[in-house]
Amino acid sequence: MTPLRGKRALVTGGGRGIGRAIAAALTGQGAEVIVLGRSRAPLDEAVAAGHATRAIACDVTDRPAFLAALHDAGDLDIFVSNAGHAETAPLKRMDAALFDRMIALNLTAVFDGIHAVLPGMVARGTGRIVSVASTAGLTGYPYVSAYCAAKHGVVGLTRALAKEVATSGVTVNCVCPGFTETDLVAGSIDTIVAQTGRSPEAALADLTKTMPIGRLIKPEEVAAAVLWLVSDAAAAVTGLALPVAGGEI
């Protein structure tokens, strides 16, 4: 079955991790999927693997380039804002540049993308917008306060915009993954090992100790949640911040 046949989707940060899994899932349901990201090689790999039909190399924090890329992508039925990254530092050692980087990538770029694609969706009377936030948008974690601030912003943006366009045929939702098997979490484990001298296994156990499921989330599990949110079955679901976190939230 291909319930998304005829739909065009764009996934930011679509070359690896959660974004790659979402692109593959959408493609598997028949959508024409464009993956967008900073690094050309993983994007081309996604296309070569059949997980997407087209790749656009672009930095979402470069506003003119990002908006030009979205215009070049054409009318979208599904927009998944997934690009993101976390930098760690206690607030007392955090400078304004780090904070600004986290807001620019994890929140401002989400706004820019939605702001660009929303008018066309509203005009056509249909559309699905899904942002990949984080459990960091629903609770706090030490040493990533800038990232938490940005992801809380994504959740707030989602909830407010969903009400603004509730009668338009466009739904606006976000998924909030817990610690997931991605390069981002692998980097966090490396940081813990470097700073504490603990083993990678002990660092992983530290990350998952608050997750009742007792393991990292799989990217495909996040993608499955996104698939539901963009489906016709979820036409009445909007303004949702859906945790995919093994019971943590």
Give the Å distances, CA to CA, from 61 to 48, 64, 133, 231, 234.
26, 9, 17, 29, 30
* Chain length of the chain: 249
End-to-end CA distance of the chain: 33
Rounded to the nearest 10 degrees, how much is the dihedral formed by the CA atoms of 129, 134, 140, 144?
-110
Find the catalytic residue in 83, 147, 204, 222.
147
- Bridge partner residues of 172 (DSSP): 129
User: How far is the C-alpha of 81 from the C-alpha of 221, rounded, in Å?
Assistant: 17
Q: Is-contact 31 233, C-beta < 8 A?
A: no
- 147 labelled catalytic: yes
CA distance 73 to 56: 9
Angle at CA 13, nearest 5°, toward 11 and 14?
A: 55
Between CA 53 and CA 74 the distance in angstroms is 14
Q: Are 58 and 64 in contact (CB under 8 A)?
A: no
Half-sphere exposure of 148 (CA within 13 A, CB side): 13
Nearest to 175 by CA among 225, 224, 139, 230: 225
Q: Which residues are known to be catalytic? A: 147
